[in-house]
Amino acid sequence: MTAASHGPKAHVIGPRGPKVHVIGNVNVDLIMGPMGDWPEPGTENIMAESALRVGGSAGNAALAFQALGVPYRLACNVGDDVFGQWLRKAFGAAGRGWPVSPVPTTVSVGINHANGERTFLTSQGHLEVTSLGDVVGRLPRRAGRGDVALLLGGFLSPRLLESYEALIDLLVARGFEIALDTGWPSAGWSETTIRRMAVWLTACDHLLLNEIESCAFSRQPDVETAARWLLRKAKPGAAIVIKQGPRGATAWRGLERFHAAAPAVTVIDTVGAGDAFNAGYLASWLTGRDLAAAVAEGVAVASAAVSTSPRVYGVARKVEPQRHRGTEAQRR
**Where in the chain are the domains?**
2-38+45-323
Residues 6+ apart with CB under 8 A from 255: 332
Element at 286 (helix H, strand E): helix 273-286
CA dihedral 328, 67, 122, 182 (to 10 degrees): 0
pLDDT bin (cut points 50, 70, 90) of residue 17 is low
Using one digit for the tens of pLDDT, what is the confidence trace for 190-221? 999 999 999 999 999 999 999 999 999 999 99
Q: Are 252 and 306 in contact (CB under 8 A)?
A: no
List pLDDT tens digits, range 49-81. Answer: 899 999 999 999 999 999 999 999 999 999 999
CA pair distance 79, 57, nearest whole angstrom: 17
Tell me the average pLDDT of the chain. 90
CATH 3.40.1190.20 matches 2-38+45-323: yes
> Does residue 310 have a cis bond before it (omega within 30 degrees)?
yes
C-alpha angle 219/225/231, rounded to 5°? 90
In 219-301 the beta strands, taken as DSSP E runs, fall at: 239-243, 249-253, 256-260
CA 276: distance to chain centroid?
Answer: 7
Helices 191-201, 223-233: axis angle to 10 degrees equals 60
Q: Between 213 and 309, where is the model more confident?
A: 213
Percent of the chain clearing pLDDT 70 (strictly above) = 89
Partners of 120 in the β-ladder: 110
**How many other C-beta atoms are found inside a 10 Å radius of the C-beta of residue 91?**
19
Asked if residue 258 has pLDDT above 90, the reply is yes
- pTM over 0.75, yes/no: yes
pLDDT confidence of residue 2: 61
